[in-house]
């Protein structure tokens, strides 16, 4: 399962541009990830500048490793 910590997210949109299958949707202060389409590449998790995206399946490294769930 993926989730975006909306208390950390600054809605910069970086993850939207990173996602290779365009399954992240951002509308001002609403952000959603379509997990049906997600291919679990982890690009958004690594690419989020504030570490707001976490996923229970994520085993990669990078800046957000310490907050993975």
Using CB under 6 A, list all residues that contact ligand SF4.
4, 9-15, 18-19, 21, 23-24, 26, 31, 33, 38-44, 48, 50, 52-53
Question: Least distance in Å: CB of 42 to ligand SF4?
Answer: 5
Collect all residues with Cβ–Cβ distance below 8 Å to 23 and sequence separation of at least 6.
33, 34, 35, 36, 37, 38
By C-beta, is 4 or 68 nearer to ligand SF4?
4
Question: Least distance in Å: CB of 65 to ligand SF4?
Answer: 15
Residue 47, classified by CB atoms within 10 Å of its CB into exposed (0-12), middle (13-18) or buried (19+), is: middle
């Amino acid at each position: 399962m993926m989730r975006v910590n909306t208390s950390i997210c600054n809605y910069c949109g970086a993850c939207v541009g990173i996602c290779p299958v365009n399954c992240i949707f951002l509308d001002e202060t609403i952000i959603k990830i379509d997990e049906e389409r997600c291919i679990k590449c982890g690009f958004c998790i690594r690419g989020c500048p504030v570490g707001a995206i976490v996923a229970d399946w994520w085993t990669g490294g990078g800046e957000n490793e310490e907050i993975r769930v």
